[in-house]
Structures are given as C-alpha cells and as structure tokens.
C-alpha cells in the first residue's frame, strides 16, 4: 500500500456525511458506492495515473475494507443507455468515443507487463464516465491475470463456478468455462 493514500473510517464517514443515502451512487455485489469529499490529494493522484481509460484507485481504508476511487461525475454508462429521457441519452459521437475509450483500456489491460489482465465482468454498470464523458473501466472484483510460462502465453482461466453478470456473459463461456481476453471483447460487443 506504499503508493496509495490510506484513509481512516472516520474520514470516510465524514466525507460521505455518515454514508448518507443521498450520496449513494450505486450498489453492487461487493458493496455500496458513495460520492464523497476527502482531503486534497490531487498532486499525489496525478503522479500515479496509470491509464486514462481505467478508473483510478485513490486510496484505501483498511478499517472499513473500502477502496476509494476518483469521482466519475457522469455516473455509469448504464444510466444513459437505459434512460428513456432524451436529456440523458448519448450522441452517436459520444458513443463511438466511449467505445474507443473502452477498447483502449482493454488493450492496455490485456497487454500489461509482466502479466496482462482480463476483466471478466465488463458491462455498462462497470464503465464510468468522467466530466468529459470519457469512458473508464471499473470494478475489477473478478479479473484474472494472463500468465506466461515457457515462452507460451496461457490466456485463459478455467473455472467451474460462473463469474460475471448473467445477461452480459459471453455465450461461449457456458460451453468452455474459460475466461479469456476474447471474453472481454465479446462483452464489449454485447452493448456497443
């Protein structure tokens, strides 16, 4: 944790107004997401940017088993894709840019050294939009590493228990039970 800022539980409670429901952004399988205001850490954050299309981890709170990420003011991609209100819909230009952002993030993840990573649960609710509607991949709760052994790439992870969110799962996964980088690409294609 030497590169992350460590926050106390008291700081999290204060920054989220005691986890006020009005500050809840969403809820997932691993917990709730709150909008919060914490001490100024922009210099430290800017020095650790890893990729512009991945939501950046800002810090941790060991006491509360919590991860603190950068704020994504335009919410998740799920919001405009599922909204019936015209004011929340995305233009075609924005949609193409967001798809390109996600492709860029996936290329980075899949080719990261020494071991690439595949996400495994890519879906609109796990793609967040910053102030400029730049798409950023989030929620790495079930991601897996791509291993390299004996100069051969082994880009899959065989599993007997299903991972991910059912409506967004690659149909091929049900036959092979293998998580691969192609799995992420299929998930991206399902909602683009």
Which has the minimum average pLDDT: 31-40, 117-126, 161-170? 161-170
Q: What is the pLDDT of residues 180-191, one digit of tens each?
A: 666 677 666 666
- Stretch 57-85: mean pLDDT: 82
Closest CA to 77 of 58, 50, 60, 55: 55
Cα 153 to its chain centre, rounded Å, is 25
3-state secondary structure 5-57: EECCHHHHHHHCCCCCHHHEEEEECCEEEECCCCCCCHHHHHCCCCCCCECCE
Whether pLDDT at 136 is above 90: yes
- Stretch 71-95: mean pLDDT: 84
* Residues with catalytic roles: 121
Q: What is the CA radius of gyration of the chain?
A: 18
For each of the domains in the chain, give its residue range(s) and CATH number, in order of start. 5-69 (3.30.200.20), 78-191 (1.10.510.10)
- Stretch 120-143: mean pLDDT: 86
């Amino acid at each position: 944790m030497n590169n992350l800022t460590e926050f106390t539980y008291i700081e999290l409670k204060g920054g989220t107004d005691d986890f006020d429901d009005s500050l809840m952004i969403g809820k997932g399988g691993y917990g709730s997401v709150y909008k919060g205001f914490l001490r100024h850490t922009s210099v430290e954050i800017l020095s650790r940017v890893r990729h512009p299309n991945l939501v950046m981890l800002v810090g941790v709170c060991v006491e509360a088993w919590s991860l603190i990420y950068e704020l994504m003011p335009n919410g998740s991609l799920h919001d405009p894709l599922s909204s019936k209100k015209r004011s929340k819909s995305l233009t075609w230009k924005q949609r193409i840019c967001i798809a390109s952002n996600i492709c860029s993030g996936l290329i980075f993840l899949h080719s990261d050294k020494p071991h690439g990573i595949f996400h495994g649960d890519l879906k609109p609710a796990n793609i967040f939009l910053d102030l400029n509607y730049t798409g950023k991949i989030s929620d790495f709760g079930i991601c897996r590493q791509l291993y390299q052994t004996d100069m051969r790439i082994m880009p899959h992870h065989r599993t007997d228990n299903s991972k991910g969110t059912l409506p967004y799962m690659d149909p091929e996964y049900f036959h092979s039970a293998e998580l691969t980088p192609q799995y992420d690409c299929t998930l991206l294609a399902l909602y683009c």
